[in-house]
Structure 1
Amino acid sequence: MPLAHPFDDDKLKEECGIFGAVGVADAANFVALGLHALQHRGQEAGGIVVHDPVHGFNSARRMGYVRDNFTSHEVMQTLPGNVGIGHVRYSTAGNKGQTAIRDVQPFFGEFSMGGAAIAHNGNITNADALRRELIERGSIFQSSSDSECIIHLMARSMGRTIPDRMEEALRKVEGAFSVVAMTRTKLIGVRDPLGVRPLVLGKFGDGYMLASETCALDIVGAEFIREVEPGEMVVISAKSGVQSHFPFRRRQSRFCIFEHVYFSRPDSILGGRSVYETRENIGRELAKESPVEADLVCPVPDSGTPAAIGFSLQSGIPYAMGIIRNQYMGRTFIEPSEQIRNMGVRLKLNVNRALIRNKRIILVDDSVVRGTTSRKIKDMLLDAGAAEVHFRIASPPTAWPCFYGVDTPQREKLLAATMTEDEMRDHLGVDSLKFISLDGLYRAVGEAEGRDPKAPKYCDACFSGEYPVAPTDMIEKGFQLKAAE
């Protein structure tokens, strides 16, 4: 099992990626390829469930990378069928480094009308309350995942069909969810009414695919049809095609804006917009808002690269690869010694000394969370002879935790929650530090007038502290919401 990289804990992590296929021979192969493309959304574990008329439901759940677990003939031949779903995950903040095989999705349930499997991206904000209620009524849970609540709610439903039962179950759920599910013949996809987490629909021959991102459709050669709309349920079969309906009350969508900043792959399409082009626009906005005299614009690879290119194009300051990433480090560096750990980010990043010596460097990164990695990178640049280091951050200060499916530290561990921008600059020891404004970020994603404070288009709770769905479980545990202004 790949261990969490010891120097990768200073980024927010999307906790899940999901993929489903129906109406294609050897669906498990499509699912495995799709999950491979979504590996950035979860690297701790993965699972696949399929159905075949002869062999019934079969599943495989493994710790670690898709490429290490779902590429061998021995494993894939145990997963026959023309319908299947899969899931990749990170461990949650509460179970850091303690992912258990019992928590690996998809989850399977046997109902009176047949079996069904379900995989979920997001977070159920009333999962603790639901779990308590279900246990008191006799349910026996097999995992610590909030997603299992959906299976138990479906089991208690009196709906005639599995989609009916899923509808009833999801009406009791609060929070953010994009779901892929399957029966013996159908693939089902659902997004929560706010559409916080992504889900897209594709077509391959006579078959169909559902995925967290369009890059997963690209890898299997599927045609991108459209996004599943917020609050929509699609029920898909090879015979009947796509049937769509809306089981939830219509609401203003609040898609996660951090998908544009960092989570999604730059080659994906979100809301009809290229993620790469949006990130380049973020860099341009950042250069307009926070110009500084310098010699080079350098990204923190790889997530800061598009924004750094945009900053360079807007400012006219040359772009350069001042930091080189070790592409083979990954997250599989097993049990490094204490001496190796003390080398810090040098295991993963190395300064291009000849390029940056005596130069004033603008360093562009996607975010600052705890600030630990930022300080180490700054030290590396100064040690290599940089004359000045100016940080430019392609997102507003991350001052609030996310409760909608992102692995976020507790609020007191977020640098922006306890320090002003000037205090963060001094803490990081850089010549200047500037974040893009929330209005600037909205302009970069296509909102020309910036953020409408009365009706924001996106979920930006990690920046604004304004949660579109109350985090019920966390409030019960004492979490303090932002006071009304």
Structure 2
Amino acid sequence: MCGIVGVLAHAPANQILYDALLLLQHRGQQAAGISTDNDSVFAMHKANGLVTDVFRTRHMRTLRGCAGIGHCSCAAYGPSCDEEAQPFYVNAPYGITLAHNGQVANGDALRRELSVTGRRHINTPSDAEVLLNVLAHEVHAASQGESLSPAMLFTAVACLQRRVQGSYAAVAQVAGHGILAFRDPQGIRPLCLGVRTAIDGNEYMFASESVALEGMGFSYVRDVAPGEAVYVTLAGELHARQLSVQQGARPSAFEFVSLARPDSVIDGASVYAARLKLGELLAEQVRAQLDVGAIDVVMPFDDISRPAAIQLALKLKLDYREGFIQNRYPGRTFDLPQSDIVRKPVSQRVNAIGTEFHGKRILLVEDAIVDAASTREIVQLARQAGAAFVALASTAPPVLHPKVYGVDWPARRKPASMGATHDEMRANVTADALVFQDLKALKAAIAGANPALRELEISCFA
């Protein structure tokens, strides 16, 4: 999961990009980067860390120009070097930078192909670098010695879509020309377009979520359609073309379960409305599997599960309480030599209000159970605070498979439900009872927010 943004303005873009990345920080806390174009000269700064850690005044001063792209990342495979942070850059043809959100399923095959036939060197394991080099190769092939044009870029992206398998949304910048945005033919990863009226004409922004547009004063125009490419020239001319047969968006269900901010709208569906409906439908599962009369209070795990927990409590006519308080400023965990510390203790990340737990039978609501260790820590924290009974309800079905098209986890962090029975899973998280959302209900909740979303990427649940 990553956050991407592209801006074309009539004033310096560096502050706009920085602030937009802050609004997308929930999509990735591992690394951040910004690239700008000033009179066909790229300036770039990127590194590991939060947006506020990566950029200082000295960095922002070097990021000159009124157009640029930005990225914040959360890599599935653990810590990486600064060189793996995005955006990436190639000098030919024209000079192109690119930032990407997604997973390229045939990345290894493309790396070999680019090396052997394209004579291109891929310097990092990043899928974004592969995607950028495929794009650059296809732009070169489409140029035929001619000047850059929107039609040429659209031809290149159409060829890229035929070669690249996976889920991707990307923003790219061509030095001295403009910003290009495109989305995979299935529309698995989100990308939207916004516009802001200025004295000198319209300004444009592309972003992973509508919340970034609204927060920066841009009006949401529409989502970039699955298989579509949109190109905005430095002169402010907008060009768009549908490059593959559009079957309708097939967004990842995880965007609505936990990834996106609740105040975002993705492919016409309100994330907040979907989460309310998830809570309402989960209440029916709880009613069928547990003795509701024996439950004293309903509590959310965190901010993500709060809308669902509130709706579930209303539906079941149970008291709702806030029992966990999150520390929003936990700081870094340093990777020091010979250090056994790989993550901060749960007590440093969240604290329990003892009076809300003591002697009570608690129903905890979580968005999705991916990592059993983190869920187990919260359940045990509730017990340490004095809970007499701890039931757990997940707004998502059991996560059974890692899947590159939706959300990807490396083998060493396989989903907790993978290969486990329901009783094994309950014992693993140390809960007294465990309830999962029904897959049919998950689909219904998201479709309730936008009936046009008839298909979802749900392979990690199936």
The TM-score normalised by the length of structure 2 is 0.89
Corresponding residue number in structure 1 for 2:250: 254
- State the partner residue of 1:87: 71
Query: Equivalences for 1:30-429 in 2 at 5 Å?
Result: 30-53=16-39, 56-70=41-55, 72-93=56-77, 96-97=78-79, 99-112=80-93, 114-137=94-117, 138-157=119-138, 158-160=141-143, 161=148, 163=153, 164-183=155-174, 184-205=176-197, 206-291=202-287, 292-293=292-293, 294-329=295-330, 332-334=332-334, 344-404=345-405, 406-410=407-411, 413-429=414-430
CA distance in 1 between counterparts of 2:343 and 2:88 reads 40
CA contact (8 A) 1:411 1:417 kept: no
Tell me, yes or no, if the aligned pair for 1:233 and 1:246 is still in contact at 8 Å.
yes
Query: Structure 1 residues 276 and 456 mapped into 2: Cα distance closer, same or farther (>3 Å)?
Result: closer
* Distance change >3 Å, CA 412–CA 274, structure 1 → 2: closer
**CA contact under 8 A between 2:277 and 2:448: conserved in structure 1?**
no
Structure 1 residue 252 displacement after superposition: 4.4
**Residue in structure 1 matched with residue 457 of structure 2 by the alignment:** 459
1:445 matched to 2:431? The reply is no
Q: Partner letter of residue 131 of structure 1?
A: R
1:418–1:456 distance in 2 versus 1, CA, 3 Å: farther
The answer on whether the counterparts of 2:13 and 2:65 sit within 8 Å (CA) in structure 1 is yes
Identity %: 34
What CA distance in whole angstroms lies between the structure 1 residues aligned with 2:236 and 2:425?
Answer: 57
Q: Deviations over 1:192-237 (max 9, x none)?
A: 1100000010012211000000111122111111111111111113
User: Larger RCO: Structure 1 or Structure 2 (Cα < 8 Å, ≥ 6 residues apart)?
Assistant: 1
In 1, Cα distance between equivalents of 2:64 and 2:343: 47
Aligned pair in 2 of structure 1 residues 146, 269: CA closer, same or farther (>3 Å)?
Answer: same
Bigger drift between 343-352 and 185-194 goes to 343-352
Moved over 4 A (4+): 335-343, 447-451
Query: What SS does the aligned partner of 1:249 have?
Result: coil
SS of the counterpart of 2:205? strand
Any idea what the Cα deviations from partners look like across 1:284-308, whole Å, max 9, x if unmatched?
1101222233111001112221111
8 Å Cα contact 2:335-2:342 kept in structure 1: no
Q: Answer whether contact 1:196 1:255 (CA < 8 A) is retained.
A: yes
Distance 1:68 1:341, change over 3 A: closer
User: 2:339 & 2:204 partners in 1: Cα distance?
Assistant: 49
Cα distance between partner residues in 1 of 2:366 and 2:162: 39
Whole-angstrom distance in 2 between the partners of 1:22 and 1:426: 52
Does structure 2 conserve the Cα–Cα contact (< 8 Å) formed by 1:17 and 1:39?
Answer: yes
> SS of the residue aligned with 2:238?
strand
User: Which amino acid in 2 is paired with 1:66?
Assistant: V
Cα distance change of structure 1 residues 270 and 250 upon mapping to structure 2, 3 Å threshold: closer
**Cα distance change, pair 263–209 in 1 and its aligned pair in 2 (3 A):** same
Q: Deviations over 1:423-473 (max 9, x none)?
A: 22233332210001011111111259999xxx9610001101xxxxxxxxx
Q: Contact 1:401/1:411 (CA < 8 Å) preserved in 2? A: no
Q: Distance in 1 between matches of 2:270 and 2:135?
A: 37
Give per-residue Cα distances to partners, 1:375-409, cap 9 Å, x unaligned: 22222222222121110101000011021363414
Q: Secondary structure at the match of 1:67?
A: helix
**C-alpha distance in 2 between matches for 1:109 and 1:80:** 19
Moved more, 378-387 or 401-410: 401-410
Q: Shift in Å at residue 342 of structure 1?
A: 9.8
Q: Residues 341 and 131 of structure 1: is their aligned pair in 2 closer, same or farther, counting only changes over 3 Å?
A: closer
Counterpart residue identity of residue 27, structure 1:
A
After TM superposition, the structure 1 stretch with the greater mean CA deviation from structure 2, 222-231 or 372-381, is 372-381
Partner amino acid for 1:68? D
**Which whole-Å CA distance do the structure 2 matches of 1:208 and 1:140 have between them?**
33
Q: Secondary structure at the match of 1:461?
A: coil
Cα distance between partner residues in 2 of 1:374 and 1:305: 16
Q: Is the contact made by 1:442 and 1:448 (CA closer than 8 Å) also made in structure 2?
A: no
3-state SS, counterpart of residue 368 of structure 2: coil
> How far apart, in 1, do the equivalents of 2:366 and 2:335 lie?
28
8 Å Cα contact 2:297/2:361 also seen in 1: yes
2:165 partner amino acid: E
Distance 2:428 2:417 in 1: 11
Paired amino acid for 1:404: Y
Cα distance change of structure 1 residues 413 and 56 upon mapping to structure 2, 3 Å threshold: closer
Q: How far apart are the structure 1 equivalents of 2:88 and 2:333?
A: 30
Structure 1 gaps of 5+ residues are 1-13, 465-485
Distance in 1, Cα, partners of 2:172 & 2:416: 38
CA RMSD of superposed structures (Å): 2.5
